[in-house]
Structure 1
Amino acid sequence: MPGPARPPRPHTLLVTGAGGAGRSTLAAAAASAAARRGHRTLLLSQEPADRLAALLGCAPPEHPGSPWEAAPGLWTLQVDAVRAFRTALLGLQERLRGALDHLGATPLDEDELLELPGAGEFALLRALTEASAATGEEPGGVAEPGGAAEGERGPARPGGWDTVVADLPPVRQTVPLLALPEVLPRYLRRLAPPERQAARALRPVLAQLAGVPVPGARLYETTAEWQRALAGVRRAVTGPHVRVRLVTEAGPLALRALGTARAALALHGLPVDSVAVNRLLPDGSADPWLAEAAGTQRRALRELRAECAADGVPLLELPHLGHDPCGPGDLAALDLPAVPPDSPASTPASAATAPGAAPQVEDRLDEDGELVWPLPVPGADKAELGLVRRGDELIVDVGPHRRVLELPSALRRCRVAGAALEEGELRVRFVPDPGLWPTPS
């Protein structure tokens, strides 16, 4: 008899885009709009707490590191990267104490730990994972399992969020960040293959023969815990409950950057909810400089409209307020659509672009003698695409972004015959390898 249905995950909006385009402001505006619609909303951001408080028009938090209510129905969590990094590293050090003692290592003290580059992104991803966990589900994390004390797993504990809005870094850092739950397990499988655990009984003998300790059960147990934690992260950042909003400004380089971002996100199975064009100047200014700047924006905006309309992606055009947005009045003036679960953007993605899933192989053996693997890369430019076959994997590049895809079983017995960019898809053609393809008996 089936158990009770698991409560749904909160609708999750990931806000990223060009650096300096106003991502934090528009993330706050989206969260504020969702809260005004009556949805219990959490805004996650790495912005300093006083900056967030000024943006939302509320008092700074009394207890940093925990969500605070910035407005009715709207909670905000300022992700403390330094604190999260120290907690995770000290936890990992404790778990590896035996190996470190064997090497004669001197343990690190908390007060000497400085934040490393990228620690903030890891902390934000962990907070997003915990906040996005369905009610009653144990949240995962990317930090060392068990490294944080129970009281430090803050964002998931209030629970019951209807909407979670994450203010993410620029898209150049966001794409690899969201790809981590897929990439790291692959590395772990290579570094600590599960089949090696079968030799557990031989470890003492091997250690004496080799003269050095052989990795013990603890290594594999820790690896398994990391695998489970990463699976939790993957559930949080992929699925029909997740949408991505790209923020840009209308400039001469916006179209190319937008195309690369959309293609990279689509390649990783992350659907774009909408594109927000921020800080649009009004037409008809008597000031020659403003009139010229507005004209440049309008020309770029026409290109962005055409690009988004061709692929059915909503384009949100947001005005320049003449000052830095500050307070609920300014956030409401941006007129940014809310992101509640019943919005059209929450419609589940099609099977071809399901988050985290690989597209289906098209069987064209009878017509052309080929199998075709269509990979979604909407907005991509042919010059920025790269393709390499490596054993049973296909490595695909979109500009600076990369995804390593495991080939379906049928394609592992084939050779790559070519590829073409057609209507937003990279269509990779395969032909059967006579030495591997089964022949009729």
Structure 2
Amino acid sequence: REALATLALPEQLRRYLRRLLPRERQAARALRPMMAQLAGVPMPAQWLYDMAAHRDAELAAVQSVIEDQGTTLRLVAEPGPAGEEALRLARAGAALYGLPVDTLVPNRLLPPDPADPWLAALAAQQHKSLDAWRGAGTPASALRPVRHLGRDPHGPDDLARLDTEAEGGGLAVETAAPAGAGRRDDPWRVEDRLAEDGLLVWCLALPGVAKSELHLVRRDDELVLTVGPFRRIVPLPSVLRRCTVAGAALADGVLRVRFTPDAALWPRSD
């Protein structure tokens, strides 16, 4: 949970900077003394805008790496009831933040048929969960099961051993695009159903999300989305800013938010 929140931090901090120190205010620097007198409070000094611009550039550099086509996530979980729930939440959080998951590493797997009855029951539970992960639409090429060493791994030799013994060709996975290939495409899309239903539908892929843990609210030109412990404030696509929310529905791992054009803002066709 903390790792996903950290990956989302650059986008959030840049948004806070833009709200605290809008660039429009900096453009009015010549009017700052007069505005300070009218408002009765001192206006931000130029050094504050310069510092904000510097921090924004640093955050933008980090964000560009996170959003690069060659950047993907690898989730590690121990098969079992607790691991299943943690994996579901992690996948939902990654989808909310637009982070693609390329590999799932089932960790600390016991042999399928140990002689010890207690270990046999635990192994059966693990492999039952692993079969469920395989049946949940996870491609076989995306699974890299790692067996239990019988102890905690310690040092580079143990890590190298885990890599060489992992099923599916080791833990190294080639990404679909090389690093620095540019920003990946937005997985969320707008469907134009104006001709059929008079609607625009924003389709947000959120696999693994339950309706009970999903909350959304529109705030001006933003959509505030909460999925379990994760929260993201997303700017609306420009075409949807001139619309009103007509409803939303979650089905088959996709949240569909329906918008109707606002007659006061939408261009007339006659």
TM-score for both structures, normalised by structure 1: 0.55
Q: Does 1:387 align with 2:216?
A: yes
State the partner residue of 2:176.
346
Q: Distance in 2 between matches of 1:216 and 1:358?
A: 40
Query: What are the equivalent positions in structure 2 for 1:74-85 lying under 5 Å apart?
Result: none
Q: Does 1:320 align with 2:148?
A: yes
Q: Distance in 2 between matches of 1:313 and 1:419?
A: 34
SS of the residue corresponding to residue 177 of structure 1 reads: helix
Q: Which runs of 5+ in 2 are unaligned?
A: none
For residue 307 of structure 1, the aligned residue among 125, 136, 147 is: 136
State the partner residue of 1:378.
207
State the partner residue of 2:159.
331
Q: Does 1:254 align with 2:87?
A: no
Q: Distance in 2 between matches of 1:390 and 1:210?
A: 27
Q: CA deviation at 1:205?
A: 4.4
Q: Distance in 2 between matches of 1:199 and 1:220?
A: 12
Q: 1:382 to 1:211 in 2, by over 3 A?
A: closer
State the partner residue of 1:196.
25
Q: Does 1:277 align with 2:106?
A: yes
How big is each residue's C-alpha offset from its partner over 1:376-427, in whole Å with a ceiling of 9 and x where there is no partner?
Answer: 2122222221111111111111111111111112111212222222332212
Q: CA deviation at 1:331?
A: 2.2
Contact map agreement 2:91 2:208 (CA 8 A) in 1:
yes
SS of the residue corresponding to residue 396 of structure 1 reads: strand
State the partner residue of 2:193.
364
Q: 1:332 to 1:308 in 2, by over 3 A?
A: farther
Residue identity (%):
52
Query: What are the equivalent positions in structure 2 for 1:134-149 lying under 5 Å apart?
Result: none
SS of the residue corresponding to residue 253 of structure 1 reads: helix
State the partner residue of 1:216.
45
SS of the residue corresponding to residue 31 of structure 2 reads: helix
Q: 1:286 to 1:268 in 2, by over 3 A?
A: same
Q: 1:214 to 1:390 in 2, by over 3 A?
A: closer
Q: CA deviation at 1:232?
A: 0.5
Q: Distance in 2 between matches of 1:283 and 1:313?
A: 21
SS of the residue corresponding to residue 65 of structure 2 reads: helix
Letter in 2 for 1:315: L
Letter in 2 for 1:319: R
Contact map agreement 2:189 2:204 (CA 8 A) in 1:
no
SS of the residue corresponding to residue 127 of structure 2 reads: helix
Q: Distance in 1 between matches of 2:257 and 2:73?
A: 26
Contact map agreement 2:242 2:265 (CA 8 A) in 1:
yes
Query: What are the equivalent positions in structure 2 for 1:88-103 lying under 5 Å apart?
Result: none
Aligned length: 261
How big is each residue's C-alpha offset from its partner over 1:116-171, in whole Å with a ceiling of 9 and x where there is no partner?
Answer: xxxxxxxxxxxxxxxxxxxxxxxxxxxxxxxxxxxxxxxxxxxxxxxxxxxxxxxx
Q: Does 1:411 align with 2:244?
A: no
Q: Which has the higher contact order (CA 8 A, sep 6+)?
A: 1
Contact map agreement 1:285 1:291 (CA 8 A) in 2:
yes
How big is each residue's C-alpha offset from its partner over 1:90-134, in whole Å with a ceiling of 9 and x where there is no partner?
Answer: xxxxxxxxxxxxxxxxxxxxxxxxxxxxxxxxxxxxxxxxxxxxx
SS of the residue corresponding to residue 189 of structure 2 reads: coil
Q: CA deviation at 1:208?
A: 5.8
Contact map agreement 1:250 1:298 (CA 8 A) in 2:
yes
Contact map agreement 1:260 1:381 (CA 8 A) in 2:
no
Q: Distance in 1 between matches of 2:25 and 2:61?
A: 24
SS of the residue corresponding to residue 318 of structure 1 reads: coil
Q: Distance in 1 between matches of 2:41 and 2:220?
A: 33
Contact map agreement 1:258 1:379 (CA 8 A) in 2:
no
What root-mean-square deviation, in Å, do the aligned CA atoms of Structure 1 and Structure 2 show?
2.3
TM-score for both structures, normalised by structure 2: 0.87
Q: CA deviation at 1:254?
A: 2.2
Contact map agreement 1:238 1:356 (CA 8 A) in 2:
no
Q: Distance in 1 between matches of 2:64 and 2:238?
A: 24
Q: 1:249 to 1:409 in 2, by over 3 A?
A: same
State the partner residue of 2:5.
176
State the partner residue of 2:263.
434
Q: Distance in 1 between matches of 2:227 and 2:184?
A: 17
SS of the residue corresponding to residue 279 of structure 1 reads: coil
How big is each residue's C-alpha offset from its partner over 1:36-77, in whole Å with a ceiling of 9 and x where there is no partner?
Answer: xxxxxxxxxxxxxxxxxxxxxxxxxxxxxxxxxxxxxxxxxx
SS of the residue corresponding to residue 200 of structure 2 reads: strand
